Structure 1
């Protein structure tokens, strides 16, 4: 199985300028690819393959206007073309939404580095047209790397590489764990484990309060410095926007870390099977009262992490049918309620009189999913 290894790199000032140049080139070529595909599609043409676009790009680089594209590695532009074409292929197959143009302000700064030309030595790594860059920790040596990417998260630069890893041989128990996810708690397991909603903690609430204050201050400064119909970005606004970006980064790291710790704890119980309900995130987000809470909870990311960790450890991962009435079914007698509103947090069975927490009841039913079906 290929697992990603992400390591912080510490470039010098000159190296950082070259990294930004590669980022800008990757974004420009990706947008150029999307523009060419859209223009061709509007004119009734067929899909342009990435090989043909790369030939066009070679001619474009020779012109005086786009001579600056030759300042970075050729592989950065090649991969950006490939990524743009893949995005369109996924859209035509119905696997993803229509690809959007990458914004300089909003898109994640990243670019591809050729895996064959990637060289690793103790605490340094060779990045094309950048040179040998220091690393905060050692990247595994003497292994085959796949899809190396250099990215910037708003504070630090990172390089991530895919490394083929042999899965561990572990003895699994006969336990089947059902997991019910939600907004009140992140996950409730049938074995009694409960993982709380990290967004309700004092630390996260304090950071969100600080974030709201900074956003209000920036908004006021924009209004004060407005010239006609244009908003002027002063040096103070730039400083505040940087603080906002770092706060968003900190909140994202806290949520991601909580999700990783929760999924690790579930996998470490060594169950033979993990059952989770099929999540219709797109449908859930349509609820205007809960959409923000659902987005912050990161339910899809939780499922993704749990799925690959189960696969790596040889645990069977099962997704229950989305119409399976896990919450409406009594875990004691099997009676199914016709109606159960979201406000009813305690399940009371009309047949056997069982009184149980709604989410815990659902997790028990999910653990028995295969037996029911």
Structure 2
């Protein structure tokens, strides 16, 4: 089993400059490959394999104009060429759109590291050829500090898969796959039905207390208020610096945009952290199965009154985390049919209340008289759906 781990890097100023340079080398190799493929196709040529392009790129480094490429790891350019060929090939197979050239301003800086050359310790990671000097004091630039200690396992027996370094606009990150032994334990506890909503994030069938909506927290509301003020401030700056149909961006505007980027990242970090805490808590109860309903999020967003609240809940991210955490723990992950009436069905007598409205937060059964919270009723029905799915 391969587990993906992503950790923030804390580079110094020199390392930060070198990381941007490595990302620029990767972008150059990607664009060079794409240009070669396009030119070859226009002249009636066939698809050029990446191994042939890598050989040609090696010869390119010998030219005086491109000798600067020798200062950086050749694994960065090799993988960039391979990525460009894969993207180009996928377009002709109908899997994706035609690959675009990477822009220095718009594309996110990222590059690849070789699995054999990368090294980890408790606190640092060693990247290949950040500096070409062999002096000990200069070699220290190759070791970059990790924000989280002892997060990534290391040793002779550890195998790493596809290490990538990326920049999100504020911080540098390293993501790497680590081969781990599979879990042999199969949980036998009662299954859990999970009903997702806007009022509360998740309501589970096995506990009475719901997982609250983090966006209603005072801390998040305060950050969102600050975000709105900063957006209005930037918008006014743009209108002031308008020159016809274009805008003149000043240094102060760039500073404000950087602040805006930091606040957005902080807000997303709080939401994703809460989702991880919630999903881990559900999975750690070791149920036999977990059932989620297949929500029509695209249709729900069309409601202008609820669109923003639904987007902030990040339902897709919740599904994704539950799915891979179930896979790690040998828990069966079941998605209920979209048209299964989990909210309208009575969890005691299975009668269906067809006139149930979205504003009705309490479910009152017309047949047996059951009075229960609407979302709790839906979660119990989802749990029963999972039991039927396993028994079939």
TM-score (norm 2): 0.82
Alignment of 1:99-114 (within 5 A): 102=102, 104-114=104-114
Contact 1:7 1:135 in 2 (8 A): no
Work out which of the residue numbers 131, 138, 153 in structure 2 matches 1:140.
153
CA-based RMSD of the aligned residues comes to 3.1
Contact 1:9 1:133 in 2 (8 A): no
- 1:174 corresponds in structure 2 to 189
Q: What secondary structure does 1:296 align onto?
A: helix
How many residues are paired up? 373
Work out which of the residue numbers 187, 191, 213 in structure 1 matches 2:206.
191
Q: What secondary structure does 1:364 align onto?
A: helix
- 2:127 corresponds in structure 1 to 127
Deviation at 1:189, TM superposition (A): 0.8
Contact 1:10 1:133 in 2 (8 A): no
Contact 1:179 1:276 in 2 (8 A): yes
- 2:83 corresponds in structure 1 to 83
- 2:138 corresponds in structure 1 to none
In the alignment, is residue 364 of structure 1 matched against residue 374 of structure 2?
Answer: no
In the alignment, is residue 158 of structure 1 matched against residue 173 of structure 2?
Answer: yes
Partners in 1 of 2:168 and 2:154 — Cα distance? 25
Deviation at 1:105, TM superposition (A): 4.5
Alignment of 1:264-303 (within 5 A): 264-303=280-319
Work out which of the residue numbers 271, 295, 312 in structure 1 matches 2:328.
312
Partners in 1 of 2:197 and 2:48 — Cα distance? 43
Q: What secondary structure does 2:129 align onto?
A: coil
Bigger mean CA offset, 106-115 vs 280-289 = 280-289
Q: What secondary structure does 1:368 align onto?
A: helix
- Structure 2 vs 1, CA of residues 154 and 92 (structure 1 numbering), >3 Å: closer, same or farther? same
- 1:16 corresponds in structure 2 to 16
Encode CA deviations 1:92-133: one digit per residue, 9 max, x unaligned: 777667766655445433221111121234533221221522
Partners in 2 of 1:324 and 1:46 — Cα distance? 50
TM-score (norm 1): 0.86
Encode CA deviations 1:291-314: one digit per residue, 9 max, x unaligned: 332222111111111111111112
Q: What secondary structure does 1:155 align onto?
A: coil
- Structure 2 vs 1, CA of residues 20 and 271 (structure 1 numbering), >3 Å: closer, same or farther? same
Q: What secondary structure does 1:163 align onto?
A: strand
Partners in 2 of 1:276 and 1:347 — Cα distance? 20
Contact 1:18 1:129 in 2 (8 A): no
Greater C-alpha Rg: 2
Bigger mean CA offset, 70-79 vs 323-332 = 70-79
Alignment of 1:339-354 (within 5 A): 340-354=356-370
Encode CA deviations 1:209-228: one digit per residue, 9 max, x unaligned: 11111111111112222334
Q: What secondary structure does 1:149 align onto?
A: strand
- Structure 1 residues without counterparts, runs of 5 or longer: none
Contact 2:9 2:173 in 1 (8 A): yes
Bigger mean CA offset, 253-262 vs 164-173 = 164-173
